[in-house]
């Protein structure tokens, strides 16, 4: 499985010929060349906040990949239907969908939120720190107004994935991000957990 991060919470997952793009948000557009993406089989969207779901980018993706299957929350499905874009809130044999709560944000309305699990291997919980999963690869928010790096590390220790992909970190300066991730990596590696200090648009193999 090859994973490429396009800023913040957007991941391209290439898995034996099946390609999934998760959470194409507004921060992702500036580093994503839609024309150079491999053929997309799926777009999965965990919730309707702009940093995870940016409608202009989704429209570009659908224009490029008209046969792509979009899996999202019911409110996103309804919003896309108004744009004549077909989507579903149901998972399938390759992508499973689990409703998990969006963490409380004091300055924003609560959004529907789902965790998507890709190919049975990679779980992406959107804006949640309240979930369980036995997926071997966990994409986990590490910086947010609703959460903390400390809580993220506690979740890793509780769930014990084999690999961690840090997400939801665009608000951090590069030096701060890399310093924090170096600390987290040095803490988790002795526990047998592979923490990927993933850079935007640079794929990693897992």
Q: Which fold has domain 2-197?
A: Metallo-beta-lactamase; Chain A (3.60.15)
pLDDT digits (tens, 9 = 90+) for 103-115: 998 776 789 999 9
Domain layout of the chain by residue ranges: 2-197
Within 12-125, residue ranges assigned H as helices are 55-64, 74-81
pTM (2 decimals)? 0.95
Contact between 127 and 53 under an 8 Å Cβ cutoff? The reply is no
Q: What string of pLDDT tens digits covers the 206 residues of the chain? A: 999 999 999 999 999 999 999 999 999 998 999 999 999 999 999 999 999 999 999 999 999 999 999 999 999 999 999 999 999 999 999 999 999 999 998 776 789 999 999 999 999 999 999 999 999 999 999 998 888 999 999 999 999 999 999 999 877 777 777 888 899 999 999 999 999 998 889 999 99
Q: How far apart are CA 83 and CA 39, in angstroms?
A: 22
* Residue 140 Cα distances to 17, 115, 122, angstroms: 24, 11, 11
CA-closest candidate to residue 153, choices 98, 173, 161: 161
**Residue 82, token pair as written in the block:** 């108004």
| Residue 188 DSSP class | H
Task: Tell me, rounded to whole angstroms, the distance of Cα 72 from its chain centroid.
Answer: 12
Decide if 126 contacts 110 (C-beta within 8 A).
no
């Amino acid at each position: 499985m090859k994973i490429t991060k396009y800023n913040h919470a957007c991941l391209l997952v290439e898995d034996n010929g099946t390609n999934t793009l998760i959470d194409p948000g507004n921060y992702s557009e500036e580093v994503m060349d839609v024309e150079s993406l491999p053929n997309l089989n799926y777009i999965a969207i965990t919730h309707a906040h702009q940093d995870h779901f940016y409608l202009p980018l989704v429209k570009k993706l659908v224009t490029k990949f008209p046969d792509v299957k979009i899996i999202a929350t019911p409110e996103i499905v309804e919003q896309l239907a108004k744009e004549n874009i077909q989507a579903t809130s149901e998972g399938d044999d390759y992508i499973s969908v689990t409703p998990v709560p969006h963490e409380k944000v004091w300055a924003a309305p609560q959004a529907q939120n789902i965790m998507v699990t890709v190919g049975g291997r990679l779980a992406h919980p959107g804006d949640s720190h309240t979930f369980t999963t036995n997926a071997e690869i966990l994409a986990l928010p590490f910086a947010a107004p609703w959460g903390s790096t400390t809580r993220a590390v506690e979740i890793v220790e509780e769930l014990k994935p084999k690999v961690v992909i840090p997400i939801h970190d665009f608000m951090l300066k590069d030096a701060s991000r890399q310093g924090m991730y170096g600390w987290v990596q040095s803490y988790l590696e002795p526990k047998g957990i592979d923490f990927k200090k993933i850079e935007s648009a640079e794929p990693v193999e897992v």
